[in-house]
Amino acid sequence: MLLRSQPLNSKISEKLAADSEKECEEMTEFNILSQHIGDMFDDIFDDRRRRKIKFTTRLGWKWHRIKDTYYDVKHSVRNHIKWHKALRELRPWEGFNGLLIVMQTHLRDYVLCEEKYGHSEERFKRHKIETAKEMIALLERMKEPDEYLHRCREEVEKKYPKYKSLITEYKTGGTSTSGDFIAQGNGWAGEEAGNDPRKGYFEFANGRFELAESPDKEETDRLLAQIDEYNEEISNAYVQAEADSDKDFEELGQLLKENLYSWWD
């Protein structure tokens, strides 16, 4: 994919056409002074030609250099203001996050500029803006990778009761969280986590969480089956989150390949 020219809107096209027509009139066969073979752009930097350039033209060049310096300073001040929030959020240890913040910030700025000042033909201009906004939304999703899983988990958790976990406190001051449990009668139905988890109906006895005889075994079995189904869907949510992330990476590559070199004006 190489950088290519863009179709211009009618107003700019007419102006460039007029300038081109004037230039063509000046470069007719009747106005040829001499010809020779040389490198490209030798005609611009040829000392003999530079000596013949009009004073007004040289003055115009100097004025353009002054204007360029002015705009360099102007945009430097503007960028410090525009990028203040992004610069405040950047951290040297956050490689991918910082990169995404920079890309988002600049693309948002580009979209505003394109919408207000873009010279491209309207259909082409609209396409550039739409694809840049699509990229911004994509980068926003990628900026928080844990959200892929959170979104999938939330969809699963909406369908089930809110399960509780067993919190264990140790004499050393540490704590641990384990399993999924739901209230049943005076106890809890559920399953511990770990390598050799206990599963069934539990009650607290002398401060310890112990298996006990269920007051309604059929209900306990139903609740345990529901927890198994919940855990299976949560496991599938991890797989779906990975697939969603992979899809966004593929879309990122496609958007960049097809549009990166068109995001300019």
Q: How confident is the model at residue 90 (pLDDT cuts 50, 70, 90)?
A: confident
Q: Which whole number is the average pLDDT over 193-211?
A: 93
Say yes or no: 95 and 11 in one domain. yes
Residue 6's pLDDT is: 73
- CA 27 from centre of chain: 49
Mean pLDDT for 194-215 is 93
In a domain, 61, yes or no: no
Question: Is residue 223 one of the residues assigned to a domain?
Answer: yes
| Residue 97 forms part of a structural domain | yes
The reply to whether 193 and 167 lie within a common domain is yes
Per-residue model confidence (pLDDT) at position 113: 92
pLDDT: which is higher, 85 or 43: 85
Asked whether residue 114 falls in the same domain as residue 191, the answer is: no
In this structure, are 188 and 214 located in the same domain?
yes
Please report the pLDDT score of residue 251 as a whole number. Answer: 96
SS3 221: helix
Among 7-11, 151-155, 162-166, 203-207, the minimum mean pLDDT is found in: 7-11
* Count of the separate structural domains present in the chain: 2
**pLDDT-derived band of residue 265, with 50, 70 and 90 as boundaries?**
confident
Closest CA to 180 of 171, 172, 189: 189
Average pLDDT, the chain: 86
Which domain covers residue 100, as residue numbers?
1-35+89-144
Q: Kindly tell me if the per-residue pLDDT of 46 is higher than 60.
A: no
Q: What confidence score (pLDDT) does residue 99 get? A: 93
Residue 51, pLDDT above cutoff 60: no
Distances from the Cα of 201 to the Cαs of 75, 134, 186, 227, in angstroms?
68, 51, 10, 13
Residue 158, pLDDT above cutoff 80: yes
Q: What average pLDDT does range 94-111 have in this prediction?
A: 92
Q: Residue 209 phi/psi, 5° resolution?
A: -95, 110
Q: Which residues contact 66 (CB under 8 A, 6 or more apart)?
A: none
Question: Does position 2 have pLDDT exceeding 70, yes or no?
Answer: no
- pTM value is 0.71
Q: Are 115 and 213 in a shared domain?
A: no
Over residues 240-264, the mean pLDDT reads: 94
Instruction: Tell whether 224 and 200 lie within a shared domain.
Output: yes
Q: What percent of the chain has pLDDT over 90?
A: 56
Q: Do residue 234 and residue 165 come from a single domain?
A: yes
Q: How many CA atoms lie within 13 A of 142 on its CB side?
A: 24
Select the more confidently predicted residue: 72 or 226.
226
Judge if 132 and 241 occupy the same domain: no
Residues 167, 239 share a domain: yes
Does residue 199 sit in the same domain as residue 179? yes
* Residue 159, domain member (yes or no): yes
125-128 long-range contacts, CB within 8 A, separation 24+: 125/9, 127/262, 128/259, 128/262, 128/263
Examine the domain organization and report whether 23 and 97 are in the same domain. Answer: yes
- Predicted local confidence at residue 67, as pLDDT: 86
Average pLDDT value for residue range 137-159? 93
Would 67 be classed as within a structural domain?
A: no
- Judgement on whether residues 181 and 128 belong to the same structural domain of the protein: no
pLDDT the model gives residue 18: 62
- Residue that finishes a domain, picked among 126, 144, 162: 144
In a domain, 191, yes or no: yes
Question: Is residue 71 in a domain?
Answer: no
Residue 76, in any domain of the structure: no
In this prediction, residue 236 has a pLDDT band, given cuts at 50, 70 and 90, of very high
